[in-house]
Amino acid sequence: MHRERLIRAVVASSAECGYAEMTVADVVRRARVSRNVFYEHFADKHAAFLVALDNGAELIFDRIAAAGGGPGSGSDAVDRLRAAIHAYLHFLATEPEFARCFLIEVFAAGPHALERLRAAQTRFVAGIARWHALARAQHPNWPEVPEEAYLALLGAMHEIVRTRVGERRTAELPELEPTALALYLTTLTGWRRTP
């Protein structure tokens, strides 16, 4: 129970003050626990921030997986994509503090935090590639695309979302659903490789 409260406090403190300015004192005050309790769970603020990133990333992937159905779900590929995009954007919109940590403050938290971000990005890219392979089984006329296209899609989405979060317009993220869906479908169904 204390650990969860501390993780939430790390996320909230980092989002409010910025990772660099956040202190253990901020976290324990917000969590309403003693410093001793904090140090029973984490070595320092950096370790706590890394755990918060990991926990939040797992929640994102769980929401996307639950919303998108699986390969045997019987739903159309486009419906699964739409549901996954919806889950991602709504998760961030309802967790604005975590969105700020994951997309903004992560860059101030050093190389270990950036490794967490890269690992999450790798999982996103793999998920896009898996979805596209399954979608092509349903839609054989859809083209193959180079692997870099999946990374490019992720980068484009990341930048669009990060900009809104950086401007503290996180509540508006669900408005991006039509743009995100069009971006994915244009790239993955209408790809034309130039000679």
Question: Which tokens is 175 given?
Answer: 């408005």
- B/e letters for 143-177, b = 16+ CB within 10 Å, e = fewer, are eebeeebbbebbeebeeebbebbeeeebeebeebe
Residue 158 confidence (pLDDT)? 94
- Rounded-to-integer distance, Cα 69 and Cα 67, Å: 6
H or E stretch covering 84: helix 77-94
| Segments in the chain forming alpha helices (H) | 2-17, 24-31, 35-41, 45-68, 77-94, 96-103, 111-138, 147-166, 177-189
User: Is 133 buried (19+), middle (13-18) or exposed (0-12) by CB count in 10 A?
Assistant: exposed
Secondary structure class of 75 (helix, strand, coil)? coil
Q: Which fold has domain 51-189?
A: Tetracycline Repressor; domain 2 (1.10.357)
Reported pTM:
0.90
Residue 75 confidence (pLDDT)? 76
Residue 118 confidence (pLDDT)? 95
Written as one letter, the residue type at 26 is: D
Q: What is the mean pLDDT of each run of 10 residues along the chain (195 residues)?
A: 94 96 97 96 97 96 83 73 95 97 96 96 95 92 92 95 97 96 90 53
Would you kindly state where each structural domain of the chain is located, as residue ranges?
51-189
Residue 190 confidence (pLDDT)? 74
